[in-house]
């Protein structure tokens, strides 16, 4: 009788399952099962070998941890990614909160930097923000989003936000030193600076080095950080006053300014004014007409044609 009962008891013991009983797995194991085909196979292996059986602990847990640590997926994904993927699979509500934070961070950064994020790319970037922990890795965040730098062709400045600030700084430096560059040069410079490949100071130095070869008489001062616009201000004032022109309309590219200041020895201010007064255009100024009139009266007085003071 005892032998028969023992036989029946043996038959009553359920056979070990070769298929995964998903409902019996912990939330974390369920998450891993959903994430990657390699992890799915690993979980199925663990189920077959009894790693998750309560009676096989802590040995089963250790076997599972070892197998997971040796997996290709584990080696290729950092802790932040693993945690994020687990949250995505086990806690959809919390995952949506993280993604919403990611969307807000991406849009805020885009606004600051002058980027245009295509609507279809926002959710993908938000997920990358969470997965790759861009909040703690600003350089990775910057590098990933620089492809979305927006170029506004036809406007005064090609870029907006911080990218626009870089462009404006470089354009101003070039203009104040009498140089011009095409839009392609500025676009390349801004992207290089925004991508962290170089610093804006490198491009500022490049502009000044080129300006120094143009205005050789002021090379040292330009390389030291002074702008040619300031160095030429006295000449621009003489030109404005002598030729009766608006000072604000005069640039370093004005032919008279270039003639006075280019070369190893810039022209003196007195010589510059004298040169301007020899130009035919000077005769059209009020001061030229007044000077001619004054001289004419002086001649007539000396000839006795008119009396002193201009009376006949």
Residue 64 CA to residue 17 CA, distance in Å, equals 18
**Greater pLDDT, 63 or 65:** 63
Measured distance CA(156)–CA(148) in Å, rounded: 20
Q: Hunting for tokens 């189920």 — which residue is that?
A: 47
The pLDDT, as a whole number, for residue 303 is 52
- Residue 241, pLDDT above cutoff 70: yes
Number of domains in the chain: 5
Measured distance CA(19)–CA(105) in Å, rounded: 43
138 lies in the same domain as 172: no
Q: 17 with 57, same domain?
A: yes
154 assigned to some structural domain: no
Residue 153 domain flag? no
Residue 272 domain boundaries: 232-278
Within a domain: 298: yes
Are 303 and 243 in the same domain? no
Whether residue 261 is found in the same domain as residue 295: no
Query: Do 274 and 242 share a domain, yes or no?
Result: yes
Is 3 inside a domain boundary? no
List the beta strands (DSSP E) in 94-145. Answer: none
Q: Let me know whether 26 and 56 are in one domain.
A: yes
Short-list 172, 169, 166, CA closest to 229: 172
Using alpha carbons, select from 161, 136, 137 the residue that is nearest to residue 148.
161
In a shared domain, residues 143 and 186: no
Please state the φ and ψ torsions of residue 243, each to the nearest 5 degrees. Answer: -95, 5
202/165 same-domain check: yes
State pLDDT tens for residues 26-47.
666 666 666 678 888 888 888 8
User: Residue 13 has what pLDDT?
Assistant: 39
CA distances from 193 to 113, 174, 175, 239, 264 (A): 12, 17, 20, 38, 34
In a shared domain, residues 72 and 129 = no
Structural domain includes residue 156:
no
Task: Return the H-helix or E-strand segment holding 300.
Answer: helix 286-303
For residue 2, is it within any domain? no
Which pLDDT tens digit goes with each residue over 93-104? 999 999 999 999
Joined tokens for residue 305: 């044609």
Is residue 84 included in any domain, yes or no? no
Judge whether 114 lies within some domain.
yes
Clarify whether residues 73 and 14 are in a common domain. Answer: yes
Rounded mean pLDDT, 268-291: 85
């Amino acid at each position: 009788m005892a032998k028969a009962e023992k036989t029946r008891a043996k038959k009553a013991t359920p056979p070990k399952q070769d298929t995964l009983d998903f409902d019996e797995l912990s939330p974390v194991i369920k998450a891993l099962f959903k994430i990657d085909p390699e992890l799915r196979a690993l979980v199925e292996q663990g189920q077959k070998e009894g790693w998750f059986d309560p009676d096989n602990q802590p040995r089963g847990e250790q076997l599972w941890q070892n197998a997971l640590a040796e997996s290709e997926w584990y080696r290729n994904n950092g802790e932040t990614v693993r945690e994020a993927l687990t949250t995505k699979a086990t806690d959809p509500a919390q995952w949506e909160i993280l993604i919403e934070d990611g969307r807000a961070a991406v849009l805020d950064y885009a606004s600051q930097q002058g980027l245009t994020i295509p609507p279809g790319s926002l959710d993908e970037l938000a997920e990358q923000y969470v997965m790759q922990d861009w909040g703690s890795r600003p350089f990775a965040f910057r590098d990933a989003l620089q492809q979305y730098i927006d170029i506004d062709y036809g406007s005064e400045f090609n870029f907006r936000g911080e990218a626009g600030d870089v462009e404006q700084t470089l354009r101003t430096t070039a203009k104040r030193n009498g140089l011009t560059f095409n839009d392609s040069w500025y676009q390349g410079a801004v992207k290089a600076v925004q991508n962290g490949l170089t610093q804006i100071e490198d491009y500022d130095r490049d502009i000044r080095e080129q300006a120094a070869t143009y205005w050789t008489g002021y090379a040292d001062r330009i390389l030291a950080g002074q702008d040619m616009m300031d160095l030429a201000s006295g000449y621009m004032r003489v030109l404005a006053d002598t030729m009766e022109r608006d000072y604000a309309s005069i640039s370093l590219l004005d032919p008279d300014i270039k003639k006075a200041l280019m070369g190893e020895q810039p022209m003196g201010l007195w010589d510059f004014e004298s040169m301007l007064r020899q130009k035919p255009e000077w005769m059209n100024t009020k001061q030229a007409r007044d000077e001619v009139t004054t001289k004419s009266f002086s001649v007539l007085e000396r000839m006795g044609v008119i009396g002193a003071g201009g009376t006949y």
